[in-house]
Structure 1
Amino acid sequence: MDMDDAYANAKYIPNASDFLEQWEDSAREWREMENAAGRLQVNLSYGAHEREKFDLFLPSGRPEGLMVFVHGGYWYQFDKFRWSHFAEGATARDWAVAIPSYPLAPEARISEITQSIRKAIEEAAKRVRGPIVLAGHSAGGHLVARMLCEDGLAPEIAARIKTVVPISPLSDLRPLMETKMNADLRLDLAEAEAESPLLLKKHIDIPVTVWVGGAERPAFLDQARWLAQAWEGASLHIEPGQHHFNVIDGLKDPESPLMKALV
């Protein structure tokens, strides 16, 4: 199997570049609106690295809890500013939403990015009381799933986690060692195994819904199934007709099945 092709998404999605432009425009408009309403805190630091910052979107009233959304991009692309509008569904349901940036490969290894996300969640948790839910897309799905493993979160934060929804997650990193992008990721077998949620025990006993689009690449359907099968208490939801880019659209709709699975 050609692993570069297996894990290619954009080339199999019609007008894929339009999604990237629309996300950027919609995110900017959402930030401007929320900032004008006094419901946005920007660039809150959670570490020493210049990319270790998150934005916090607040509901109109007192938050029911905190959702953390971790973006994708194969650990080497993007930042928090492209995804702001995906906070809309949760804030409409009276939840605060933290969206972090994080150090990227090749500067950071995946194991280091994992630790950055841990710090982001723990810092955001200091600012919002109540339960915490985690959602992440693609590489972000890997990172939120990774938080449930034994060395993921501090015990006092882990105790507040209500549910986790990894969306189109990369649960087994070993196949990525055979891709060209590994020149940036720098995965070796030891790190791939140590950072693969599929190969690690789920340490926090909470519901996990592994979410994936029915029109995704077979490799992503496999990755989602593998995790749902490996983790006791995890369920698999295949969203009919959705591909890798629009599978997260439900995060914008407070009444969507995806949003209801989270909060």
Structure 2
Amino acid sequence: MAQAEIDLEAEYNNRARVPDHPSHIAGWQRDAAAYRETARCELDIAYGPGGRHRLDLFHPPGGDAGAPAIMFIHGGYWQALDKSSSSHLARGANERGFTVAVPSYDLAPGITLSGIVAEMETAADFLMHRLGRALVVTGHSAGGHLTACLMARSPKALRRPITAGMPISGLFDLVPLVPTSINRALGLTVEEARRLSPIYDTPPLDSRIVAVVGGAESAEFRRQSRDFVAQWSAMEAVARVHEVPGAHHFDVIAGLADPGDVLVETLVTLAAGA
């Protein structure tokens, strides 16, 4: 089907697609707050000068074995939420022995999307310097886009390349967002959207990526993951799609809180080669 025939607003407006999304977001906030109460964590570490340039570090209960650390980037279409909604998603990797970082970033329209990408580069560089180890990056929705951007830009922008990532419900081609309501806060032109689309970037050498998407997500979200994996595979990345059966945009990340879930197992496998 030609893009002009697709109802892009319906395909990309996830809050409209999932009417009970407020209960899911409230659940994230509740579960995240509960995890912060019990986890071994360092909260509100400054990685930059701004008020939202803060990250939380969650440490494994049994101690860190020195493996690559994991960074999780929250979603919200680059214009909502912060790190406080995602703390519980560190649980699964923590219980498998990994340190997990969860950063916040400034939100549109107060910052450009290229500015948000730069903030995540600063956060990633800060983490690699502080921890002295490689990163595996994962993130949800807008965070999936930022995951792929970090990987693509890391050989030039960061102190060491990021070669392993797991974007979840990621956006890899931003051009379809330009005519939608999502772009009101972003203000992207078609040219800017293309420049900030990691599907058009080159993956770092020896990169491995698993693009996760929910089986009940829109056709466009599923297509984005397939097309991204095909494009990066053609440029010699080891890439595949993992579809979570029956999952929609707001419950596709739930498995990260469970150390036995396939999403956590995927992160463990990615970390082994990072």
TM-score band, normalised by shorter chain: over 0.9
- Is 1:16–2:17 an aligned residue pair? no
Equivalent residue of 2:228, what SS? helix
Is the 2:163–2:204 contact (alpha carbons within 8 Å) kept by the matching residues of 1?
Answer: no
Equivalent residue of 1:149, what SS? helix
Quote how far apart the aligned CAs of 1:173 are. 0.4
Is the 1:43–1:53 contact (alpha carbons within 8 Å) kept by the matching residues of 2?
Answer: yes
- Is 1:251–2:253 an aligned residue pair? no
Match of 1:104 in 2: 107
Is the 1:65–1:130 contact (alpha carbons within 8 Å) kept by the matching residues of 2?
Answer: yes
Unaligned runs of 5+ in 2: 1-5, 269-274
Of stretches 41-50 and 164-173 in structure 1, the one that deviates more from structure 2 is 41-50
Is the 1:65–1:128 contact (alpha carbons within 8 Å) kept by the matching residues of 2?
Answer: no
Of stretches 11-20 and 140-149 in structure 1, the one that deviates more from structure 2 is 11-20
- Is 1:27–2:32 an aligned residue pair? yes
Unaligned runs of 5+ in 1: none
- Distance of aligned partners of 1:162 and 1:148 in 2 relative to their CA distance in 1, 3 Å threshold: closer
Quote how far apart the aligned CAs of 1:127 are. 2.6
The TM-score normalised by the length of structure 2 is 0.89
The residue type paired with residue 126 of structure 1 is: H
Quote how far apart the aligned CAs of 1:193 are. 1.2
Match of 2:232 in 1: 231
Correspondence list, 1:174-213, <5 A: 174-213=175-214
Match of 1:57 in 2: 58
The residue type paired with residue 112 of structure 1 is: G
Match of 1:115 in 2: 118
The residue type paired with residue 72 of structure 2 is: F
Identical columns (%) = 38
Give the whole-Å Cα distance in 2 for the aligned partners of 1:188 and 1:125: 33
Is the 1:148–1:204 contact (alpha carbons within 8 Å) kept by the matching residues of 2?
Answer: no
How many residues are aligned here? 257
Match of 2:266 in 1: 261
Equivalent residue of 1:245, what SS? coil
Query: In the TM superposition, what whole-angstrom CA distance separates every residue of 1:42-77 from its partner, at most 9, and x where no partner exists?
Result: 111111221111001111212433100001000000
Quote how far apart the aligned CAs of 1:121 are. 1.0
Match of 1:242 in 2: 247
Give the whole-Å Cα distance in 1 for the aligned partners of 2:153 and 2:20: 40
The residue type paired with residue 257 of structure 1 is: V
Coordinate RMSD, CA, aligned:
1.5
The residue type paired with residue 62 of structure 1 is: D
Is the 2:75–2:143 contact (alpha carbons within 8 Å) kept by the matching residues of 1?
Answer: yes
Query: In the TM superposition, what whole-angstrom CA distance separates every residue of 1:224-244 from its partner, at most 9, and x where no partner exists?
Result: 111011102211111111111
- Distance of aligned partners of 1:102 and 1:220 in 2 relative to their CA distance in 1, 3 Å threshold: same
- Distance of aligned partners of 1:99 and 1:204 in 2 relative to their CA distance in 1, 3 Å threshold: farther
Equivalent residue of 2:152, what SS? coil
Match of 2:271 in 1: none
Quote how far apart the aligned CAs of 1:155 are. 5.2
Of stretches 230-239 and 13-22 in structure 1, the one that deviates more from structure 2 is 13-22
Of stretches 59-68 and 165-174 in structure 1, the one that deviates more from structure 2 is 59-68
After TM superposition, which residue ranges in structure 1, 4 or more long, deviate above 4 angstroms? 151-155
The residue type paired with residue 64 of structure 2 is: R
Is the 1:71–1:79 contact (alpha carbons within 8 Å) kept by the matching residues of 2?
Answer: yes
Equivalent residue of 2:97, what SS? coil
Of stretches 63-72 and 139-148 in structure 1, the one that deviates more from structure 2 is 63-72
Quote how far apart the aligned CAs of 1:2 are. 2.8
